[in-house]
Structure 1
């Protein structure tokens, strides 16, 4: 373009910069904690709304992913309950684990069509055999009970990003590492100190210039150390 403009073959073209998008639509920590407490404790709410809302508010799971969860992804080991929503099982807080186990034990609604014998049982079943609850139905259910999925998830992501390095955040939630890095940047956290502490605990060293955690990628293991 500069070549053709300099030779009078075209006019100068000005391309405006696309403003950087940041998630301004998010719950603050106080609002998120209040909603989470309500999901965990308020038995007047439908159990599906409580369970889905808690998973969004605590683990920043998308409603689309939540509706596809199956009972096989929920495992019990002794008194502990684990949910495999990303790459690895995540230990649930006892109250949330009990809530999800209660959801599993509930019988389908009277109008629910039973799933087939070889079909994975949905944690949030729909009315079509073997299919999950419709995405709009789940979102509307949450909205009716004061849980707006997008601000709730953004608030949870911001909170997690302020406490976890990008590699671990991506691994925990099944995010692309670049998405996790953007949320870490949004949360304005530098994880060099985190890596230094972890290295000191294991008797190793971390080079600040070689392995900053905010650029977590193939060179950063899941435990936060550099390879």
Structure 2
């Protein structure tokens, strides 16, 4: 599964907090992000070009302009940049954070990096953050 393919059913809340379940692994969300996602799900932006989404299709967290399709990775990057959010730094930070909570092979698929890269990042994350930061330089 890719991040762009997350559906609203991947989001859930309970007394312990709000989570996104990624490949059977619930990841605890910071409260601010959880509130934003909850509000986004409650008020989806309908911007489909061709026709309304089929009722049987998935409710993508990042719906695309075409019915039943997620937003493309390039459009997600463009939207982040429009809000002055650095995509490469954010992606690297998200990967390092995910590597501490998910198996490296899951992170490999999720971020579209090789298994070797994911295992290397996991090794660095377990040892010393300085090594990870040196890779981003």
Q: Which runs of 4+ in 1 moved over 6 A?
A: none
Q: Which has the higher strand share?
A: 2
CA 1:185 to 1:132, structure 2 compared with 1: closer, same or farther past 3 Å? same
Matches within 5 A, 1:150-189: 150-158=88-96, 164=100, 168-170=101-103, 174-176=106-108, 178-187=116-125, 189=127
Q: Quick one: which of 30, 33, 53 aligns to 1:93? A: 30
* Separation in 2, partners of 1:100, 1:75: 10
Deviation at 1:134, TM superposition (A): 2.2
Matches within 5 A, 1:50-199: 65-78=2-15, 80-109=17-46, 111-112=47-48, 113-158=51-96, 164=100, 168-170=101-103, 174-176=106-108, 178-187=116-125, 189=127
Cα-to-partner distance string for 1:19-58 (whole Å, 9 max, x where unaligned): xxxxxxxxxxxxxxxxxxxxxxxxxxxxxxxxxxxxxxxx
Q: Which has the higher helix share?
A: 2
TM-score by length of 2: 0.69
Deviation at 1:119, TM superposition (A): 0.5
TM-score by length of 1: 0.45
Q: Is the 8 A contact 2:54 2:67 kept in 1?
A: yes
Deviation at 1:69, TM superposition (A): 0.8
Count of residues in correspondence between the two structures: 120
Deviation at 1:79, TM superposition (A): 6.6
* Separation in 1, partners of 2:34, 2:118: 25
Deviation at 1:135, TM superposition (A): 2.0
Matches within 5 A, 1:180-219: 180-187=118-125, 189=127
Give the secondary-structure state (helix, strand or coil) at the position aligned to 1:118: coil
CA 1:186 to 1:89, structure 2 compared with 1: closer, same or farther past 3 Å? closer
RMSD (CA atoms)? 2.9
1:32 aligned partner: none
* Separation in 2, partners of 1:154, 1:66: 14
